[in-house]
Amino acid sequence: MSFFTKLRDRLTRSSSKIGAGLDDIVAEGADDAPAEPAPPVAQPAVPVPVQPMPAPVQQPPAPAEAAPRPGMMGRLFGRAGSDEPRRELDDAMLEELEDMLVQADMGVETALRVTANIAEGRLGRRVSSTELKELLAGEIARIMAPVAKPLPIYPKRPQVVLVVGVNGSGKTTTIGKLASQFKAAGKNVVVAAGDTFRAAAVEQLQVWGKRAGVPVMTAPEGSDPASLAYDAMVRAEAEGADLLMIDTAGRLQNRQDLMEELAKIVRVIRKKDPSAPHNTLLVLDATTGQNALSQVETFQKLADVSGLVMTKLDGTARGGVLVALADRFGLPIHAIGVGEQIDDLDAFDAREFARALVGLAD
Ligand SMILES: Nc1nc2c(ncn2[C@@H]2O[C@H](COP(=O)(O)OP(=O)(O)OP(=O)(O)O)[C@@H](O)[C@H]2O)c(=O)[nH]1
């Protein structure tokens, strides 16, 4: 099964909220007028960064003959969607759309902007649910495209990747999955079990290490994680490892002591290599919804977060939060997780994600 199919099936299973919501919005206000050719759906070949758009201006419906000749996609949609119910895109519909996006955890600001962009030049037109999904997917992909960046690999050896996040966000699982993928790509990977407080966490990482076929460095329970991180750097360097991934204990945002300990890990790592850590990955659990935004803020203050991984997109109707994160922080999204298996993590693809989120086929 391709990752897109998996993403769509699992996102749709849990977060069909947006797709179903769009169907409902159109069906609710659908009129009985005969079908008219579908308005062309903007499909930029190359996603462009989102520009702040002016507020939508009420425009009279474009006369059918004045409409530009639809492109390939427009013609396809015109045919395929001609017998679908249509609803006039007006203020009431836009308001419903905005509410639905907010409920899908996209955040008020982002939902407003996306809705305004959809309205731009289209007010008064009659759109089908499929067209609305295409428009929404296009807007989401435009927001997400600039942040869809796989974990960068540098010539520096070892490249130190520090993995942080709150308890249970999926750090250990993500390290296991990433280590397996980098190993398969021919990289020499070492993993350090920096959560020295919980024996179970160390064991769990060892299980992942075995699965991925990479060594896992551990330290006695209760020992200083910063000193383990230092030892791991010495070993990774001695072994000529390409990548050293350091797991850390999950920390609640309000636990000052744990937060300080993370800062100490970074200080100690820098004694060995002032340019390390080369990446600080913040792992976020999609099921936490809007709380993910405050987690980013908190961890950014404490560690130099360089990128995000979002897990558990399979278990939530709150996938929209990823759009809000991209819009608000612009931090690279390196990967997304849609399950507990080793191959349930893949690089983040803006278009695939956008289409899966609104329930469209590839
Ligand atoms: N459904 C689903 N479950 C996931 C995903 N990623 C991780 N999990 C599960 O989430 C739970 C917590 O994952 P861990 O990797 O242990 O999280 P952690 O951040 O290391 O946890 P702490 O060590 O407690 O801080 C485990 O049961 C994982 O199997 C995902 O993408 N989808």
pLDDT (tens digit per residue) in 13-61? 544 678 888 889 998 877 655 445 445 544 444 443 334 444 444 444 4
In angstroms, what is the span from residue 175 Cα to ligand 1's centroid?
Answer: 10
The response to whether 345 counts as a known ligand-binding position is: no
Confidence class for position 93, pLDDT limits 50, 70, 90 = very high
Ligand 1 in contact with 338 (CB < 6 A)?
yes
Residue 254's pLDDT is 62
Q: Which of 311, 334, 341 is the pocket-test mutation for ligand 1 (most atoms within 8 Å of CB)?
A: 311
Any atom of ligand 1 within 6 Å of the Cβ of 242: no
Confirm if 197 and 226 have CB atoms less than 8 A apart: no
Min mean pLDDT across 66-70, 135-139, 212-216 is at 66-70
Rounded to the nearest whole angstrom, what is the distance from the C-alpha of residue 340 to the centroid of ligand 1?
Answer: 7
Q: What is the pLDDT of residues 300-320, one digit of tens each?
A: 888 889 999 999 988 777 789
Ligand 1 atom with the shortest distance to the CA of 338: 31
Question: Could you tell me the domains of the chain?
Answer: 17-147 (no CATH), 159-358 (3.40.50.300)
Q: What is the Cα–Cα distance from 252 to 259, expressed in whole angstroms?
A: 8
> Tokens 């993500």 belong to which residue?
174
Q: Quick check: CB of 17 below 6 Å from ligand 1?
A: no
Predicted pLDDT of residue 259: 74
Is 117's C-beta closer than 6 angstroms to any atom of ligand 1?
no
Q: Output 70 or 275, whichever has higher pLDDT.
A: 275
Q: Is 312 annotated to bind ligand? A: yes
- Counting residues of the chain whose pLDDT is more than 70, the rounded percentage is 81
Using a 6 Å cutoff on CB, does residue 197 contact ligand 1? no
Report the range of poorest mean pLDDT among 15-19, 154-158, 162-166, 190-194.
15-19
Cβ 312 under 6 angstroms from ligand 1: yes
What integer pLDDT is reported at residue 38 of this predicted model? 47
Is the confidence at residue 121, as pLDDT, over 70? yes
Q: What is the 3-state secondary structure (H, E, C) of the chain?
A: CCHHHHHHHHHHHHHCHHHHHHHHHHHHCCECCCCCCCCCCCCCCCCCCCCCCCCCCCCCCCCHHHCCCCCHHHHHHHHHCCCCCEEECCHHHHHHHHHHHHHCCCCHHHHHHHHHHHHCCCCCCEEEHHHHHHHHHHHHHHHHHHHECCCCCCCCCCEEEEEECCCCCCHHHHHHHHHHHHHHCCCCEEEEEECCCCHHHHHHHHHHHHHHCCCEECCCCCCCHHHHHHHHHHHHHHCCCCEEEEEECCCCCCCHHHHHHHHHHHHHHHHHCCCCCCEEEEEEEHHHCCHHHHHHHHHHHHCCCCEEEEECHHHCCCCCHHHHHHHHHCCCEEEEECCCCCCCEEECCHHHHHHHHHCCCC
Query: How many Å lie between the centroid of ligand 1 and the Cα of residue 157?
Result: 28
Least confidently predicted of 1-5, 40-44, 121-125, 357-361: 40-44
195 lines ligand 1 (CB under 6 A): yes
> Averaged over 276-291, what is the pLDDT?
94
Q: Does 319 contact ligand 1 (Cβ within 6 A)?
A: no
CA 269 to ligand 1 centroid distance, Å? 25
Residue 209 has pLDDT above 70, yes or no: yes
Residue 172 beta carbon below 6 angstroms from any ligand 1 atom: yes
Ligand 1 probe mutation, 10, 163, 173, 287, most atoms within 8 A of CB: 173
Q: For residue 186, what are the CA distances in angstroms to 217, 234, 276?
A: 20, 21, 22
214 is in an annotated binding site: no
Q: What is the pLDDT of residues 322-352, one digit of tens each?
A: 999 999 999 999 999 999 998 899 999 999 9
> Which atom of ligand 1 approaches the CA of 175 most closely?
15
pLDDT value for 13: 52
Q: What is the pLDDT of residue 32?
A: 54
Percent of the chain residues topping a pLDDT of 90 = 59
The pLDDT value recorded for residue 353 is 93
Atom of ligand 1 lying closest to residue 169 CA: 19
Residue 160 annotated as part of some ligand binding site? no
Q: pLDDT tens digits, residue range 229-272? A: 999 999 999 999 999 999 998 876 566 777 788 889 999 999 99
Q: What is the mean pLDDT of the chain?
A: 83
Q: What is the pLDDT of residue 63?
A: 39
